[in-house]
């Protein structure tokens, strides 16, 4: 049995992250082990979830990993946990294009998990009943277990809302307006928790205190425990035994916050010794490094600091020149370019990157059937090298150059575990002294 529930909303901006993160923190304060999850490809909310629970925030995305892996990945993350809390994405039934593929409802069905609907009730009274009734009846395969009312203005307002919902759905919590727990935004959404450090810890603590007061934690736990057993086995990364564990560095720190927890787990299981390198602070790659993974993040925000760290940029160039495997996604791609917004980067790829006003966002499927996600406001010129990383929509994208594989596409490696094994195989063969 894995008690679990999904926190959803009619639309973005209703308060899902506030309620989900606060609920996680409040349950942890009670002494429970809470497994945090996020529907979809988003990297930022899981950072706040990790602060709230002390466990890695994990993504559940059937578009990227396939339906069969969703329950297995939840069970993997929830090993040893008392309850799993899953934060939804967008509106409950909003999925890929005009379908519900990848939606919160899709994931709730795959997990056979009850849904808690967070409502922004600031401008509603009796109409809240019609809204909830519509969501409850829209898809009978999705079980609506109750609602949380957010941004309620007064005792009188709360009484009106509760009266309207009396015969429609249980009210599992009421949150008043509280700007003190708002999270600052940036051009791609919330600012990652790793970039806010102490401030983010304070925000999460306040969310936990708020939700401990405002939510019926006992009723929410009872709801989570009502979820039936899952007929799936927990996912585990394939294990490769090696006589020698090559050192693989994974970029971290404030500039490189976008990484799925399973990536490092897959590399470790494939026989690598995984270490973290911070391109803002570390002037050298770790001694003995023979492979480098550069994930996503916000390099455009830290371009000057990345450029100023000439020592690490030189080490990255040396690794690439020696043929060491380097996997780069989005921010990593930009870091490998000659320039970003006119500032020198690593110079591994003969390309330049720059910030734009245009948001590129959405799932992409390569010619060989791999589905990933793009999320950026930058471009690189040229878009692809002589040998491209992928073919997207009939056009080449990204770079394959010696041991480098670089692209804008974010990929969840759990969908293709062989990627990690192949990467570590190349690292073993490279035998590059750092």
Terminal CA-to-CA distance of the chain, rounded, Å? Answer: 47
Say which DSSP state 296 is in: B
Report the distance separating Cα 411 and Cα 371, nearest Å: 7
What is the Cα gyration radius of the chain?
22
- The set of residues, in sequence order, having a beta carbon less than 8 Å from that of 294 and lying 6+ positions away, is 251, 256, 326, 327, 328, 329, 331, 332, 333, 335, 336, 406
Report the distance separating Cα 23 and Cα 312, nearest Å: 40
Can you tell me whether residue 307 is helix, strand or coil?
A: helix
Query: Beta strands 4-8 and 115-120: pairing type?
Result: parallel
Q: Which of the following is catalytic: 211, 330, 337, 346?
A: 330
Beta carbons of 339 and 384 less than 8 angstroms apart: no
Which pair of tokens denotes residue 189? 């959404």
Closest CA relative to residue 346, chosen from 294, 383, 273, 389: 294
Report the distance separating Cα 278 and Cα 301, nearest Å: 15
Active-site annotation holds for 330: yes
Burial code of 261-271, b = ≥16 C-beta within 10 A, e = fewer?
bbbbbbbbbbb
Report the distance separating Cα 200 and Cα 384, nearest Å: 37
Which positions are catalytic? 330
């Amino acid at each position: 049995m894995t008690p679990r529930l999904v926190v959803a909303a009619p639309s973005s901006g209703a308060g899902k992250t506030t309620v989900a993160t606060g609920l996680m923190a409040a349950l942890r304060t009670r002494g429970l082990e809470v497994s945090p999850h996020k529907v979809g490809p988003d990297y930022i909310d899981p950072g706040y979830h990790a602060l709230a629970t002390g466990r890695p925030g994990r993504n559940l995305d059937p578009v990227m990993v396939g339906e069969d892996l969703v329950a297995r990945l939840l069970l993997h993350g929830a090993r040893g946990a008392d309850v799993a809390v899953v934060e939804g994405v967008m509106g409950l039934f909003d999925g890929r294009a005009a379908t519900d593929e990848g939606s919160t409802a899709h994931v709730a069905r795959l997990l056979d998990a009850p849904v808690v609907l967070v409502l922004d009730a600031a401008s509603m009274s009796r109409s809240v009943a019609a809204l909830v009734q519509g969501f409850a009846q829209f898809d009978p395969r999705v079980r609506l277990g109750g609602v949380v009312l957010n941004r309620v203005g007064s005792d009188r307002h709360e009484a009106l809302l509760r009266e309207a919902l009396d015969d429609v759905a249980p009210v599992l919590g009421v949150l008043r307006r509280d700007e003190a727990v708002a999270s600052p935004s940036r051009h791609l959404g919330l600012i990652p928790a790793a970039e806010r450090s102490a401030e983010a810890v304070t925000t999460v603590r306040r969310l936990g205190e708020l939700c401990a007061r405002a939510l019926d934690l006992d009723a929410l736990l009872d709801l989570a425990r009502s979820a039936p057993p899952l007929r799936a086995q927990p996912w585990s990364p394939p294990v490769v035994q090696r006589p020698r564990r090559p050192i693989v560095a994974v970029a971290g720190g404030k500039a490189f916050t976008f990484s799925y927890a399973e990536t490092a787990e897959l590399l470790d299981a494939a026989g690598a010794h995984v270490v973290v390198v911070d391109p803002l602070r570390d002037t050298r790659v770790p001694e003995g490094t023979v492979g480098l993974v550069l994930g996503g993040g916000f390099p455009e925000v830290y371009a000057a600091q990345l450029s100023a760290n000439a020592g690490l940029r030189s080490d990255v160039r040396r690794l690439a020149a020696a043929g060491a495997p380097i996997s780069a996604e989005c921010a990593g791609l930009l870091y490998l370019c000659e320039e970003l917004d006119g500032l020198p980067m690593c110079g591994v790829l003969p390309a330049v990157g720059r910030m734009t006003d245009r948001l590129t966002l959405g799932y992409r499927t390569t010619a060989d059937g791999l589905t990933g996600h793009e999320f950026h406001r930058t471009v690189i010129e040229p878009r692809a090298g002589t040998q491209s990383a992928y073919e997207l929509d009939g056009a080449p994208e990204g770079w394959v150059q010696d041991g480098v594989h670089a692209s804008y596409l974010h990929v969840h490696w759990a969908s293709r575990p062989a990627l990690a094994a192949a990467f570590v195989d190349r690292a073993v063969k490279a035998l590059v002294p750092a």
